[in-house]
Amino acid sequence: MFAVSSGYWKDPYIQYFVRQAKERKAPEINRGYYARVQGVNLLLNAFLRKTECNCQIINLGAGLDTTFWRLKDENLLPKKYFEVDFPAIVARKLYNIKSKPPLSKPIMETHSGESLLLDAHSLDSARYSIIGADLRNLKDMEEKLKKMSMDPQLPTLLVSECVLVYMTPEQSASLLQWATNTFPTAMLINYEQVTMESLSHETLLLENNLLEWINQLLITWGFFCNQVNMMDRFGQIMVENLQRRQCNLAGVDTCQSLQSQTERFLSTGWESADAWNMMNVYSNLPQEDVMRIEKLEFLDEKELLEQLLLHYCISWATKDSLGLGLAGITF
């Protein structure tokens, strides 16, 4: 919300989901969010182009994500957009949708046919469905998705942003395997942590600054959305802090390296997989817009931004029975 209100990117819908007034965040945090949002959108849009929107999207652990509304505004809606999250999170999202016309109107506008289903834990309309389910209970989740007309034969994009790390490696592997067993033509985009393996020793010596900054990150970004790897000092401090706050890091072992991030896909039936740290993603985003956002706020500590970006990655994988050229999607 703060990054949006500071002009990093446009999202007219996030304001309807955020309870507190915009709380100021550090420029590194805003740039980190910018890289994540632009990076994921870039791959997502490429999938929509390849499939000419003749596809479905399933956002796993969607939280209060606003992508459905963006795609509607940009005339890029897939045949159907699904979201899955725990029933309690879904209930909160549905409450906002029901009570805020700027959220409900676009859903009504894209709805046709039978009456729209809306209860405390699910929504089913022609182009947008939300289900309350546990990603670790695949049978139940699949049944619910099928009830809402999920079509396994359609090219399917699965998105998981800061979600798999909450599950054990076995649970997330089952989810990835379920995806390849279910959808012959699919792509999965995953955003989460990766170790700082590529950082130089000198950068790590910035530890005093780092400690202070990590604390800020915990309060703002990390505590809510992310956990990091235990392999380095940065990761150790954050993991210890998160554990003190009873935040469980069940999936952190899979985040060790870009290689472990791609291997998790290749060992669960995906045909191609790639993973880029966010520093690389940031450097490959359209540079005109990067130059624009870099003028928004003065950034004192470039090294800290680098450390943040090197600690996160976007990984993606494809399986392409229809031969749409999904493996060619990249930054």
Ligand X SMILES: C[S@@+](CC[C@H](N)C(=O)[O-])C[C@H]1O[C@@H](n2cnc3c(N)ncnc32)[C@H](O)[C@@H]1O
Feature table: binding site for S-adenosyl-L-methionine: 36, 61, 134-135, 161
Which range binds ligand X by CB under 6 A, 50-58, 163-171, 229-237, 253-261?
A: 163-171
Interaction of residue 225 with ligand X, rule CB under 6 A: yes
For CA atoms 141, 315, 250, 222, the dihedral sign is negative
Tokens of 210: 């780092």
Closest CB to ligand X among 9 and 86? Answer: 86
Among 1, 18, 134, 233, the residue binding ligand X under the rule CB under 6 A is 134
- Specify the amino acid at residue 159: V
Contact letters for ligand X, residues 59-98 (x by CB under 6 A): --xxx-x-------------------xx--x---------
Q: How many chain residues touch ligand X (CB under 6 A)?
A: 16
Q: Which two tokens stand for residue 114?
A: 């039978």
Helix (H) or strand (E) holding 60: strand 56-60
Least distance to ligand X, CB of residue 191, Å:
7
Residue 59 or residue 125: which is nearer to ligand X going by CB? 59
Q: Long-range pairs for 259-264 at CB < 8 Å and ≥24 separation?
A: 261/190, 261/192, 261/194, 261/313, 261/315, 262/315, 262/317, 264/169, 264/172, 264/173, 264/176
- 161 near ligand X (CB under 6 A): yes
We find the least distance from the C-beta atom of residue 155 to ligand X, in angstroms, to be 21
Is residue 2 a contact residue for ligand X (CB under 6 A)? no
Instruction: Report strand pairing: 80-85 vs 128-132.
Output: parallel
Reference 301, options 29, 60, 61, 58; nearest CA is 29
Residues at the interface with ligand X (CB under 6 A): 61-63, 65, 85-86, 89, 134-136, 161-163, 166-167, 225
